[in-house]
Amino acid sequence: MKRIIIVGAGASGLTLAIKLSDKNKVTLLEKNSDIGKKLLLTGSGRCNYYNEDMDKFHFYTDSNVSLDDFISENKKALDFYNDLGIIPSIKNGYYYPFSNTSTSVVNSIKRVLLQKKVNLITNYEVKKIENINDEFIVNDELKSDVLVLATGGLSYPKTGSTGDGYRFLKDFNLNIINTIPSLISLKSDCPFQKKWSGIRLNAKLSLYEEDALSKEEKGEVLLTDYGISGICTFNISSIASRGLSKGKKEEVIINFVDFLNIESKADFITYLDNRDKEYDLNKVYELFDGFINYKLVNVLLGKYKDKKWSKLKREEKDIIASLFYELKLPILGTSGIEKAQVTSGGLDLNEVDLNTFEVKKVKNLYVIGELLDINGDCGGYNLTMCTLSAIKVGESIDKN
């Protein structure tokens, strides 16, 4: 029976404690007074733990390794939640607990921790880790044969993830890939943003890096006084944030009328011409009534608002069509790591065996969860990654 210390009782540490406790002596250390503080916040309190669409393009790393084999085992993460007794409610492929609350996930985990008699020590902050004669010594007092770091990233530091793990990894001389915010709002420089704040709508966002299209997302966008937010923005933010950190030019083109399935801006002008005739409209703003939020129409149209569409010159129609069909937002930055849902970057994946997540240079030291240089889109991909990395460690330790 191995003595195993897991540092951090978040999604990944909790999964591993459950997986290993049948055959090993597991001690789970958590600096908060309770477990799973971040897990409770997930999915706006509903915990989106898995997704039907597990395409590899939903996952990111800067470590120059292939994640294909790892991602191909994603079903094991779903099995974990099924084994907890969580019944899923599946909306557009997104898995939530049927109870619609993350509390039921955390409560189920607590129940299993108790059933399996995991030695959970809360209010315990790990400050020092040593590895002497094949033994790990934590805070000069706790000893183990195996040590697992599951301390999370840097985002939402009030949940306990304050980047302690990076310090421990550096002490072991391991390479950390630049940590940057991901799944985060984007700050832009757009003349309309002070006035459009608070408008929520469906749109298509196209992210251009150095003038080349790098990602497109369709869905809910929140317009804010500093730029753009919402799920759609979050899902392009990983690439934008990485690019910005390398000094690259990032721009977003918003198409507010994508749902019309119009192929080009010229066709959109023709569509507006026809709409003008069909409904015998008088003012330009009336053209957009019925399919665009009136507040946005007012903000974007400005001086054109009360003009007659049929009387406008082609160049003026072109300007108006651009505002709705291809509004350009130069991206200045993100809202910062503290507000990000996840941290991109982390332990360089070349430092671990990707099949076991054991650190190559330090026998019996394992790293799981967000501390690794893997992150995913919104949609359950990050919890899947955290759960699956823990399961892989569990399998490896059980095998030996």
Ligand X SMILES: Cc1cc2nc3c(=O)[nH]c(=O)nc-3n(C[C@H](O)[C@H](O)[C@H](O)COP(=O)(O)OP(=O)(O)OC[C@H]3O[C@@H](n4cnc5c(N)ncnc54)[C@H](O)[C@@H]3O)c2cc1C
Exactly one of 84, 138, 164, 229 binds ligand X (CB under 6 A); which one? 164
* 369's tokens: 């969860």
Q: Which stretch binds ligand X (CB under 6 A): 63-71, 144-152, 214-222, 290-298?
A: 144-152
Q: Which stretch binds ligand X (CB under 6 A): 185-193, 256-264, 292-300, 376-384?
A: 376-384
Does residue 394 belong to the site contacting ligand X (CB under 6 A)?
Answer: no
Q: Is there a contact between 396 and 18 (Cβ–Cβ < 8 Å)?
A: no
What amino acid is encoded at 210 in this protein? Answer: E
Question: Which string of x and - marks every residue 280-299 that binds ligand X (by CB under 6 A)?
Answer: --------------------
The strand pair at 327-334 and 186-188 is best described as: antiparallel
Which residue matches tokens 């291809």? 326
Based on CB atoms, which residue is closest to ligand X, 42 or 193?
Answer: 42
* 179's tokens: 């940590």
Exactly one of 62, 276, 370, 377 binds ligand X (CB under 6 A); which one? 370
Contacts of residue 268, defined as CB under 8 A and 6 or more positions apart, other chains included, come to 257, 260, 262, 321, 324, 325
The strand pair at 146-149 and 365-367 is best described as: parallel
Does residue 230 belong to the site contacting ligand X (CB under 6 A)?
Answer: no
Give the phi and the psi of residue 132 in degrees, each rounded to 5.
-125, 125
Exactly one of 78, 106, 176, 342 binds ligand X (CB under 6 A); which one? 342
* Rounded Cα–Cα distance for residues 355 and 367 (Å): 12
- Give the residue from 395, 388, 350 showing the smallest Cα distance to 369: 388
Exactly one of 4, 5, 10, 243 binds ligand X (CB under 6 A); which one? 10
Does residue 377 belong to the site contacting ligand X (CB under 6 A)?
Answer: no
Does residue 150 belong to the site contacting ligand X (CB under 6 A)?
Answer: yes
Q: How far is the CB of 161 from ligand X (least distance, A)?
A: 3
Angle between helices 37-45 and 11-20 (to 10 degrees): 120
* Rounded Cα–Cα distance for residues 190 and 329 (Å): 6
Torsion of CA 32, 36, 39, 45, to 10 degrees: -80
Q: Which stretch binds ligand X (CB under 6 A): 79-87, 156-164, 227-235, 305-313?
A: 156-164
Q: Which stretch binds ligand X (CB under 6 A): 32-40, 200-208, 222-230, 307-315?
A: 32-40
Could you tell me how many residues of this chain bind ligand X (CB under 6 A)?
Answer: 39
Q: How far is the CB of 219 from ligand X (least distance, A)?
A: 15
- Give the residue from 230, 206, 222, 220 showing the smallest Cα distance to 326: 206
* Rounded Cα–Cα distance for residues 257 and 234 (Å): 20
Q: How far is the CB of 47 from ligand X (least distance, A)?
A: 6
Q: How far is the CB of 80 from ligand X (least distance, A)?
A: 13
Does residue 13 belong to the site contacting ligand X (CB under 6 A)?
Answer: yes
Does residue 104 belong to the site contacting ligand X (CB under 6 A)?
Answer: no
Does residue 156 belong to the site contacting ligand X (CB under 6 A)?
Answer: yes
Q: Which residues bind ligand X (CB under 6 A)?
A: 7-13, 29-32, 37-39, 41-43, 47-48, 125-126, 150-152, 155-156, 159-161, 164, 341-342, 369-370, 380-383, 386
